[in-house]
Amino acid sequence: MGTSTFMKLEIESLSENESFARVVVAAFAARLDPTLEEISDIKTAVSEAVTNAIIHAYEDRVGLISVRAYIDGNVLTVEVEDWGVGIEDVEKARQPLYTSKPELERSGMGFTIMENFMDKLTVRSAPGQGTLVTMVKEIRSKSRVKEY
Amino acid sequence: MKIEMEQHRAVLLVRLTGELDHHHAEQMREQVDREIARHPSRAVLFNLRGLTFMDSSGVGALLGRYRKIDAAGGRVAVCEVPDAISRITEISGLARIIPFFNREADALRYLLLGVPSKRRL
Ligand SMILES: Nc1ncnc2c1ncn2[C@@H]1O[C@H](COP(=O)(O)OP(=O)(O)OP(=O)(O)O)[C@@H](O)[C@H]1O
Ligand SMILES: [Mg+2]
Protein backbone atom coordinates (compact mmCIF):
# COMPACT_ATOMS: atom_id res chain seq x y z
CA MET A 1 0.00 0.00 0.00
CA GLY A 2 1.39 3.40 -0.95
CA THR A 3 0.60 6.95 0.02
CA SER A 4 0.01 9.64 -2.52
CA THR A 5 2.91 12.08 -2.71
CA PHE A 6 1.91 14.30 -5.64
CA MET A 7 -1.04 16.40 -6.80
CA LYS A 8 -1.65 18.77 -9.68
CA LEU A 9 -4.48 21.22 -10.21
CA GLU A 10 -5.01 23.37 -13.28
CA ILE A 11 -7.30 26.37 -12.99
CA GLU A 12 -8.30 29.42 -15.00
CA SER A 13 -7.06 32.74 -13.65
CA LEU A 14 -10.41 33.75 -12.10
CA SER A 15 -10.66 35.15 -8.59
CA GLU A 16 -13.30 32.62 -7.55
CA ASN A 17 -10.61 29.93 -7.94
CA GLU A 18 -8.43 31.41 -5.19
CA SER A 19 -10.28 29.71 -2.35
CA PHE A 20 -10.59 26.50 -4.37
CA ALA A 21 -6.81 26.30 -4.91
CA ARG A 22 -5.86 26.95 -1.28
CA VAL A 23 -8.44 24.50 0.05
CA VAL A 24 -7.22 21.73 -2.29
CA VAL A 25 -3.58 22.17 -1.30
CA ALA A 26 -4.50 22.32 2.40
CA ALA A 27 -6.52 19.10 2.05
CA PHE A 28 -3.55 17.42 0.33
CA ALA A 29 -1.21 18.59 3.13
CA ALA A 30 -3.63 17.28 5.78
CA ARG A 31 -2.07 13.78 5.55
CA LEU A 32 1.03 15.23 7.23
CA ASP A 33 -1.17 15.99 10.24
CA PRO A 34 -0.37 19.71 10.34
CA THR A 35 -1.46 21.99 13.17
CA LEU A 36 -4.25 24.51 12.56
CA GLU A 37 -1.62 27.21 12.38
CA GLU A 38 0.37 25.30 9.74
CA ILE A 39 -2.79 24.78 7.66
CA SER A 40 -3.52 28.49 7.89
CA ASP A 41 0.06 29.33 6.82
CA ILE A 42 -0.15 27.03 3.78
CA LYS A 43 -3.54 28.42 2.72
CA THR A 44 -2.31 31.99 2.98
CA ALA A 45 0.89 31.34 1.00
CA VAL A 46 -0.99 29.51 -1.78
CA SER A 47 -3.55 32.30 -1.92
CA GLU A 48 -0.77 34.90 -2.35
CA ALA A 49 0.87 33.03 -5.22
CA VAL A 50 -2.39 32.26 -7.04
CA THR A 51 -3.69 35.82 -6.58
CA ASN A 52 -0.44 37.18 -8.04
CA ALA A 53 -0.87 34.98 -11.11
CA ILE A 54 -4.44 36.26 -11.55
CA ILE A 55 -3.72 39.96 -10.97
CA HIS A 56 -0.21 40.42 -12.31
CA ALA A 57 0.58 37.57 -14.71
CA TYR A 58 -2.64 37.65 -16.74
CA GLU A 59 -3.98 41.10 -15.85
CA ASP A 60 -7.15 41.49 -17.94
CA ARG A 61 -7.10 38.16 -19.73
CA VAL A 62 -7.85 34.66 -18.54
CA GLY A 63 -4.95 32.21 -18.59
CA LEU A 64 -4.03 28.89 -17.01
CA ILE A 65 -2.48 28.48 -13.58
CA SER A 66 -0.89 25.21 -12.54
CA VAL A 67 -0.78 24.37 -8.82
CA ARG A 68 1.33 21.35 -7.86
CA ALA A 69 2.20 19.92 -4.47
CA TYR A 70 4.63 17.22 -3.38
CA ILE A 71 5.15 15.44 -0.08
CA ASP A 72 8.54 14.02 0.80
CA GLY A 73 8.72 12.73 4.37
CA ASN A 74 7.26 15.55 6.42
CA VAL A 75 8.18 18.23 3.89
CA LEU A 76 5.55 19.87 1.69
CA THR A 77 6.57 21.56 -1.56
CA VAL A 78 4.07 23.72 -3.44
CA GLU A 79 4.59 25.08 -6.94
CA VAL A 80 2.40 27.74 -8.55
CA GLU A 81 3.14 28.36 -12.21
CA ASP A 82 1.73 30.76 -14.79
CA TRP A 83 2.56 31.60 -18.40
CA GLY A 84 1.81 35.30 -18.12
CA VAL A 85 3.82 38.53 -18.36
CA GLY A 86 6.68 37.43 -16.09
CA ILE A 87 8.82 39.56 -13.77
CA GLU A 88 11.64 41.76 -15.02
CA ASP A 89 13.51 42.13 -11.72
CA VAL A 90 12.67 39.34 -9.26
CA GLU A 91 14.90 40.70 -6.50
CA LYS A 92 13.11 44.05 -6.58
CA ALA A 93 9.66 42.39 -6.78
CA ARG A 94 10.41 40.36 -3.65
CA GLN A 95 11.19 43.39 -1.51
CA PRO A 96 8.59 44.23 1.15
CA LEU A 97 6.20 47.01 0.07
CA TYR A 98 7.21 46.84 -3.60
CA THR A 99 4.16 46.74 -5.85
CA SER A 100 3.68 47.56 -9.52
CA LYS A 101 -0.03 48.14 -8.88
CA PRO A 102 -0.51 50.61 -5.99
CA GLU A 103 -3.64 51.95 -7.74
CA LEU A 104 -5.33 48.58 -7.12
CA GLU A 105 -4.75 48.94 -3.37
CA ARG A 106 -1.99 46.34 -3.42
CA SER A 107 0.53 46.80 -0.64
CA GLY A 108 3.45 44.78 -1.97
CA MET A 109 3.42 42.25 0.86
CA GLY A 110 2.60 39.02 -1.02
CA PHE A 111 6.14 37.67 -1.41
CA THR A 112 7.03 38.74 2.14
CA ILE A 113 4.03 36.80 3.46
CA MET A 114 4.98 33.69 1.43
CA GLU A 115 8.53 33.94 2.83
CA ASN A 116 7.29 34.28 6.40
CA PHE A 117 4.61 31.61 6.29
CA MET A 118 6.71 28.96 4.52
CA ASP A 119 10.31 27.87 5.20
CA LYS A 120 11.68 28.60 1.76
CA LEU A 121 10.58 30.59 -1.30
CA THR A 122 12.09 30.44 -4.79
CA VAL A 123 10.88 32.60 -7.70
CA ARG A 124 11.89 31.84 -11.28
CA SER A 125 10.58 34.21 -13.91
CA ALA A 126 11.23 35.48 -17.41
CA PRO A 127 9.51 38.51 -18.98
CA GLY A 128 6.94 37.41 -21.54
CA GLN A 129 7.23 33.75 -20.52
CA GLY A 130 5.82 33.37 -17.05
CA THR A 131 6.63 32.73 -13.43
CA LEU A 132 7.25 29.67 -11.26
CA VAL A 133 6.92 30.14 -7.50
CA THR A 134 8.20 27.27 -5.34
CA MET A 135 7.48 27.13 -1.61
CA VAL A 136 8.75 24.56 0.87
CA LYS A 137 7.48 23.92 4.40
CA GLU A 138 8.43 21.32 6.93
CA ILE A 139 5.37 20.12 8.87
CA ARG A 140 6.13 19.65 12.54
CA SER A 141 2.81 17.84 13.03
CA LYS A 142 0.99 17.45 16.34
CA SER A 143 1.31 13.66 16.61
CA ARG A 144 4.96 13.51 15.59
CA VAL A 145 5.88 16.11 18.16
CA LYS A 146 4.35 13.89 20.86
CA GLU A 147 6.30 10.77 19.75
CA TYR A 148 9.70 12.13 20.74
CA MET B 1 -18.32 36.57 2.68
CA LYS B 2 -20.92 38.37 4.75
CA ILE B 3 -20.75 42.13 5.25
CA GLU B 4 -23.04 43.60 7.89
CA MET B 5 -23.13 47.33 8.49
CA GLU B 6 -24.88 49.14 11.30
CA GLN B 7 -24.78 52.64 12.68
CA HIS B 8 -23.71 52.93 16.30
CA ARG B 9 -24.11 56.62 17.21
CA ALA B 10 -21.42 58.38 15.11
CA VAL B 11 -19.68 55.11 14.20
CA LEU B 12 -20.29 52.91 11.17
CA LEU B 13 -19.77 49.39 12.44
CA VAL B 14 -18.73 46.89 9.74
CA ARG B 15 -18.87 43.20 10.71
CA LEU B 16 -17.02 40.89 8.35
CA THR B 17 -17.69 37.15 8.24
CA GLY B 18 -15.96 34.57 6.04
CA GLU B 19 -12.84 34.86 3.90
CA LEU B 20 -11.37 38.25 2.98
CA ASP B 21 -9.30 37.41 -0.11
CA HIS B 22 -8.96 39.14 -3.50
CA HIS B 23 -12.30 37.74 -4.68
CA HIS B 24 -14.23 39.08 -1.68
CA ALA B 25 -12.18 42.22 -1.03
CA GLU B 26 -13.76 43.78 -4.11
CA GLN B 27 -17.24 43.34 -2.67
CA MET B 28 -16.22 44.72 0.72
CA ARG B 29 -14.58 47.76 -0.89
CA GLU B 30 -17.68 48.59 -2.94
CA GLN B 31 -20.21 48.20 -0.16
CA VAL B 32 -18.24 50.05 2.49
CA ASP B 33 -17.25 52.87 0.11
CA ARG B 34 -20.87 53.36 -0.93
CA GLU B 35 -21.85 53.72 2.72
CA ILE B 36 -18.93 56.04 3.50
CA ALA B 37 -19.76 58.26 0.53
CA ARG B 38 -22.95 59.28 2.31
CA HIS B 39 -21.11 60.44 5.45
CA PRO B 40 -17.54 61.30 4.39
CA SER B 41 -15.95 62.02 7.77
CA ARG B 42 -17.59 59.53 10.05
CA ALA B 43 -15.73 56.97 12.13
CA VAL B 44 -15.59 53.36 10.95
CA LEU B 45 -15.01 50.24 13.04
CA PHE B 46 -14.18 46.91 11.40
CA ASN B 47 -15.10 43.96 13.63
CA LEU B 48 -13.17 40.96 12.26
CA ARG B 49 -14.46 38.32 14.69
CA GLY B 50 -16.15 36.29 11.93
CA LEU B 51 -13.16 36.16 9.58
CA THR B 52 -11.72 32.68 9.00
CA PHE B 53 -9.15 33.75 6.40
CA MET B 54 -7.39 36.88 5.22
CA ASP B 55 -4.48 37.45 2.83
CA SER B 56 -2.67 40.51 1.46
CA SER B 57 -5.73 41.43 -0.63
CA GLY B 58 -7.73 41.79 2.57
CA VAL B 59 -4.93 43.81 4.14
CA GLY B 60 -4.90 46.08 1.06
CA ALA B 61 -8.67 46.56 1.18
CA LEU B 62 -8.65 47.48 4.89
CA LEU B 63 -5.68 49.83 4.42
CA GLY B 64 -7.39 51.39 1.41
CA ARG B 65 -10.51 52.14 3.47
CA TYR B 66 -8.31 53.52 6.26
CA ARG B 67 -6.44 55.89 3.88
CA LYS B 68 -9.64 57.13 2.34
CA ILE B 69 -11.44 57.78 5.62
CA ASP B 70 -8.34 59.23 7.26
CA ALA B 71 -7.85 61.65 4.35
CA ALA B 72 -11.47 62.80 4.75
CA GLY B 73 -10.88 63.53 8.44
CA GLY B 74 -12.55 60.38 9.78
CA ARG B 75 -11.21 57.68 12.10
CA VAL B 76 -10.84 53.95 11.68
CA ALA B 77 -10.27 51.12 14.14
CA VAL B 78 -10.22 47.32 14.03
CA CYS B 79 -11.41 44.99 16.77
CA GLU B 80 -11.74 41.31 17.72
CA VAL B 81 -9.05 39.92 15.41
CA PRO B 82 -9.33 36.11 15.48
CA ASP B 83 -6.24 33.93 16.05
CA ALA B 84 -6.45 32.58 12.50
CA ILE B 85 -5.58 35.98 11.02
CA SER B 86 -3.57 37.64 13.78
CA ARG B 87 -0.24 36.67 12.21
CA ILE B 88 -1.03 38.29 8.88
CA THR B 89 -2.11 41.51 10.55
CA GLU B 90 1.28 41.58 12.33
CA ILE B 91 3.54 40.62 9.41
CA SER B 92 1.79 42.91 6.94
CA GLY B 93 2.17 45.88 9.29
CA LEU B 94 -1.60 46.49 9.39
CA ALA B 95 -1.65 46.37 13.19
CA ARG B 96 0.93 49.16 13.35
CA ILE B 97 -1.08 51.49 11.10
CA ILE B 98 -4.69 51.05 12.21
CA PRO B 99 -5.52 51.08 15.96
CA PHE B 100 -6.44 47.54 17.11
CA PHE B 101 -8.66 46.68 20.07
CA ASN B 102 -9.54 43.33 21.62
CA ARG B 103 -13.00 44.46 22.68
CA GLU B 104 -15.57 46.18 20.53
CA ALA B 105 -16.63 48.43 23.42
CA ASP B 106 -13.08 49.78 23.78
CA ALA B 107 -12.81 50.47 20.07
CA LEU B 108 -16.16 52.29 20.10
CA ARG B 109 -15.07 54.38 23.06
CA TYR B 110 -11.86 55.34 21.24
CA LEU B 111 -13.77 56.28 18.08
CA LEU B 112 -16.56 58.17 19.83
CA LEU B 113 -14.23 60.21 21.99
CA GLY B 114 -11.98 60.83 19.01
CA VAL B 115 -14.64 61.97 16.56
CA PRO B 116 -13.72 65.53 15.47
CA SER B 117 -15.37 67.97 17.84
CA LYS B 118 -16.87 69.99 14.98
CA ARG B 119 -19.50 67.26 14.73
CA ARG B 120 -20.93 68.47 18.03
CA LEU B 121 -20.99 72.18 17.13
N1 LIG C 1 2.99 35.82 -11.14
C2 LIG C 1 3.44 37.06 -11.39
N3 LIG C 1 3.55 37.51 -12.66
C4 LIG C 1 4.00 38.78 -12.92
N5 LIG C 1 4.38 39.66 -11.97
C6 LIG C 1 4.30 39.25 -10.68
C7 LIG C 1 3.83 37.95 -10.32
N8 LIG C 1 3.89 37.84 -8.97
C9 LIG C 1 4.35 39.01 -8.52
N10 LIG C 1 4.63 39.87 -9.54
C11 LIG C 1 5.21 41.22 -9.40
O12 LIG C 1 5.85 41.33 -8.14
C13 LIG C 1 5.29 42.41 -7.39
C14 LIG C 1 5.30 42.08 -5.91
O15 LIG C 1 4.40 41.02 -5.63
P16 LIG C 1 3.73 40.93 -4.17
O17 LIG C 1 2.79 39.81 -4.15
O18 LIG C 1 4.82 40.94 -3.15
O19 LIG C 1 2.97 42.33 -4.06
P20 LIG C 1 1.60 42.80 -4.76
O21 LIG C 1 0.90 41.62 -5.35
O22 LIG C 1 1.89 43.92 -5.66
O23 LIG C 1 0.76 43.33 -3.51
P24 LIG C 1 0.01 42.42 -2.41
O25 LIG C 1 0.47 41.01 -2.59
O26 LIG C 1 0.42 42.98 -1.08
O27 LIG C 1 -1.44 42.58 -2.66
C28 LIG C 1 3.94 42.67 -7.99
O29 LIG C 1 3.50 44.00 -7.78
C30 LIG C 1 4.18 42.35 -9.47
O31 LIG C 1 4.77 43.45 -10.12
MG1 LIG D 1 0.59 39.84 -4.31
Q: Which CATH number goes with the domain that contains B96?
A: 3.30.750.24
Sequence spans of domains, chain A:
4-140
Taking only the tens of pLDDT, chain B with its 121 residues reads 999 999 988 899 999 999 999 999 999 999 999 998 887 668 999 999 999 999 999 999 999 999 999 998 899 999 999 999 999 999 999 999 999 999 999 999 999 986 443 433 3
**Ramachandran area for residue A8 (φ above 0: left; ψ -120 to 50: alpha; else beta):** beta
CATH number listed for the domain at residues A4-140: 3.30.565.10
Residue B53 structural domain: 2-115
Within chain B, residue ranges assigned H as helices are 22-38, 56-71, 83-91, 94-97, 104-114
Please count the structural domains in chain B: 1
Distance from CA of A56 to the nearest CA of B (A): 12
The answer to whether B80 and B103 have CB atoms below 8 angstroms apart is: yes
Q: Which residues contact B96 (CB under 8 A, 6 or more apart)?
A: none
- The pTM is what? 0.94
Tell me how far apart the alpha carbons of residues A27 and A42 are, in angstroms, rounded to a whole number. 10
- Ligand 1: lining residues by beta carbon, under 6 Å: A 48, 52-53, 56-57, 82, 84-87, 93, 98-101, 106-111, 131; B 56-57, 60
